[in-house]
């Protein structure tokens, strides 16, 4: 994991360049990521990420645990979209077993999933402003996120690592207050997103720091395997909710947020747009939650039939894939998580070269990395 920084004869080390270490403890890298920067004055020549500071061998643990236990482990990968991670594993198991979950479960899963996405984007927005120097945005973003966290606490029992899904449905039915609180939140948040725009989006300083910075072309986005808002801002239409819908997403109408600029401002605008769309999805579903059971019973020990299964979901960061190879036993033979952050991180060297340190901070804020997602 740690690398020596001494330049060797094979490095292209010219006399004006020097190395700087950004991280692993650094206010702008949002987690334990170490970046080795080769800089010439203010211009970046090379960015090399150094990973593994929070590697917990989740994939190896999955080869020993049962499927219900694996759901717990996925909370801690991309902890800002933990509900959607849980949903991914539950969907793999349900599809493999051919289980048909009740409509109620699907609708509730989608509502909570979209609320999770909004909460993640609120935090992203607050931290982005803070990285660029406008400290007040942090508090405004968290104020709205707290409302969502309180809703989750009442229904799911936890604010961040919800763990509300089980293979076959939900652990408990929703709290009686759930519908009212979500409706109140939707009404409140609709007045807040324009406030966000007023504070930051139109500000000339912000525009100058994000327009034309860190441009990622569509071909590069596809070649680097980018997904989520990073790819959609470059014009690659890849929303998993549209192309491979799951849970109740085929019953709702929403537009995919696409932009063609590929720069930091485009990525920013895509996420703001996504918040509106998520609000619209929640609004469409919240009034018509079907009656029924919150759970279909499964065996205590779940064994998937031998074979390979793949499930894609759209987390707040991009496309999460769960690839299970089962040999018929109670634990998977091999379970691989295709994490969105891992591929999104690989574009960093490509787009940050030639820009300045200040630009690197803006680029990293919009690629929106969560390091435990990358390191697993």
Partner 1 sequence: MPEGVAGIAEMILIALVYLGIFSVAGLFLVLVERRVAAWFQLRIGPNRVGFQGILQTLADALKLVSKELTGTVRADKFLYNLAPYFVIISALMAMSVLPFSKEFHAFDINIGVLFLIAISSIGVIGILLGGWSSNNKFALIGAMRSGVQTISYELSVGLSLLTMVLISGSLQLSAIVEVQKNGWLIVQGHIPAVIAFMIFMISGTAETNRAPFDIVEAESELGAGFHTEYSGMKFAYFFLAEFINMFIIAAIAATVFFGGWLSPFGITESLPWLGVFWFLLKTFVLVFLMMWFRWTFPRLRVDQLLTLEWKYLLPVNLVNIVAMALIVWLNLTIQF
Partner 2 sequence: MTNEGLQKCINGWFPEQEAGALEFTEEGSQFLNITVQPGQLHQLMWQLKSDSETHFDYLFCLSGVDWCGELGVVYHLESTTHRHIAVVKVKTGDREHPVLDSVCDIWATAEFHEREVFDFFGITFNNHPNLKRLFLTEDWVGFPLRKDYEDEVNMIIK
Helices (H), the chain: 58-62, 67-75, 82-97, 103-132, 136-156, 178-196, 204-210, 218-223, 229-232, 240-243, 264-286, 340-345, 347-352, 357-367, 371-375
Q: Is 45 in the site for partner 1 (CB under 8 A)?
A: no
Site size for partner 1 (CB under 8 A): 30
**Residue 100: which H helix or E strand, with range?**
none
Q: How far is CA 361 from CA 157, 337, 348, 351, 375, in A?
A: 35, 27, 11, 12, 21
Q: Is 131 in the site for partner 2 (CB under 8 A)?
A: no
Residue 131 binds which one of partner 1, partner 2, none, with CB within 5 to 8 A depending on kind? partner 1
Q: Is 98 in the site for partner 2 (CB under 8 A)?
A: no
For CA atoms 214, 363, 130, 186, the dihedral sign is: positive
Least Å distance, CB 145 to partner 2, is 30
Q: What is the DSSP letter of 198?
A: I
Q: Is 250 in the site for partner 1 (CB under 8 A)?
A: no
Write the CB contacts of 150 (distance below 8 Å, at least 6 apart in sequence): 159, 181
Instruction: Count the neighbouring beta carbons within 10 Å of the beta carbon of residue 180.
Output: 11
Q: Is 2 in the site for partner 2 (CB under 8 A)?
A: yes
Q: From its phi and psi, is residue 328 left (phi > 0), alpha (psi between -120 and 50) or beta?
A: left
Q: Which of 359, 157, 159, 151 has its CA nearest to residue 264?
A: 359
Stretch that binds partner 1, among 127-135, 190-198, 235-243, 296-304 (CB under 8 A): 127-135
Q: Is 28 in the site for partner 1 (CB under 8 A)?
A: yes
Q: Which residue has the tokens 């609120």?
A: 122
Beta carbon nearer to partner 2, 126 or 262: 262
- Identified binder of partner 2 from the candidate list 236, 246, 254, 268, rule CB under 8 A: 236
Least Å distance, CB 308 to partner 2, is 4
Site size for partner 2 (CB under 8 A): 37
State the residues that interact with partner 2 by CB under 8 A.
1-3, 51-52, 55, 57, 59-60, 64, 220, 222-225, 227, 236, 238, 243, 306-310, 319, 321, 323, 325, 334, 336, 338, 342-343, 345-346, 350, 375
Which residues contact partner 1 (rule: CB under 8 A)?
Answer: 18, 20, 26-28, 42, 129-136, 138-140, 143, 199-200, 203, 205-206, 208-209, 356-359, 361
């Amino acid at each position: 994991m740690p690398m020596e920084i001494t330049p060797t004869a094979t490095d292209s080390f010219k006399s004006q360049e020097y190395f700087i270490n950004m991280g692993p403890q650094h206010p702008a890298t949002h987690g334990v990521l170490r970046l080795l920067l080769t800089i010439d004055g203010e211009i970046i020549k090379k960015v090399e990420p150094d990973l593994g500071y929070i590697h917990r061998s989740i994939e190896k643990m999955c080869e020993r645990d049962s499927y219900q236990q694996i759901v717990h482990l996925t909370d801690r990968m991309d902890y800002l979209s933990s509900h959607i991670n849980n949903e991914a594993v539950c969907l793999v198991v349900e599809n493999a077993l051919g289980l048909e979950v009740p409509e109620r479960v699907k609708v509730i899963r989608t509502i909570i999933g979209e609320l999770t996405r909004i909460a993640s984007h609120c935090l992203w927005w607050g931290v982005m402003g803070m990285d660029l120097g406008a400290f007040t945005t942090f508090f405004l973003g968290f104020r709205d996120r707290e409302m969502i966290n309180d809703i989750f606490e009442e229904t799911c029992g936890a604010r961040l690592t919800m763990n509300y899904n089980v293979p076959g449905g939900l652990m408990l039915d929703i709290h009686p207050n759930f519908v009212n609180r979500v409706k109140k939140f939707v009404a409140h948040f609709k007045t807040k997103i324009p406030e966000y725009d007023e504070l930051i989006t139109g500000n000339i300083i912000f525009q100058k720091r994000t327009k034309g910075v860190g441009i990622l072309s569509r071909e590069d986005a596809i070649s680097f395997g980018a997904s989520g808002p990073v790819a959609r801002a470059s014009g690659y239409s890849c929303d998993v909710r549209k192309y491979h819908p799951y849970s109740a997403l085929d019953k709702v109408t929403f537009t995919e947020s696409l932009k063609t600029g590929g720069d930091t401002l485009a990525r920013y605008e895509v996420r703001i747009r996504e918040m509106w769309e998520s609000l619209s999805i929640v609004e469409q579903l919240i009034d018509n939650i079907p009656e029924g059971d919150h759970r279909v019973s499964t065996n205590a020990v779940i064994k998937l039939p031998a074979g390979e299964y793949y499930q894609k979901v759209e987390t707040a960061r991009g496309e999460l894939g769960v690839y299970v190879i089962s040999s018929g036993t109670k634990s998977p033979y091999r379970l691989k998580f295709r994490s969105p952050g891992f591929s999104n991180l690989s574009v960093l060297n490509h787009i940050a070269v030639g820009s300045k340190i200040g630009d690197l901070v803006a680029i990293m804020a919009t690629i929106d990395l969560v390091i435990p997602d990358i390191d697993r």
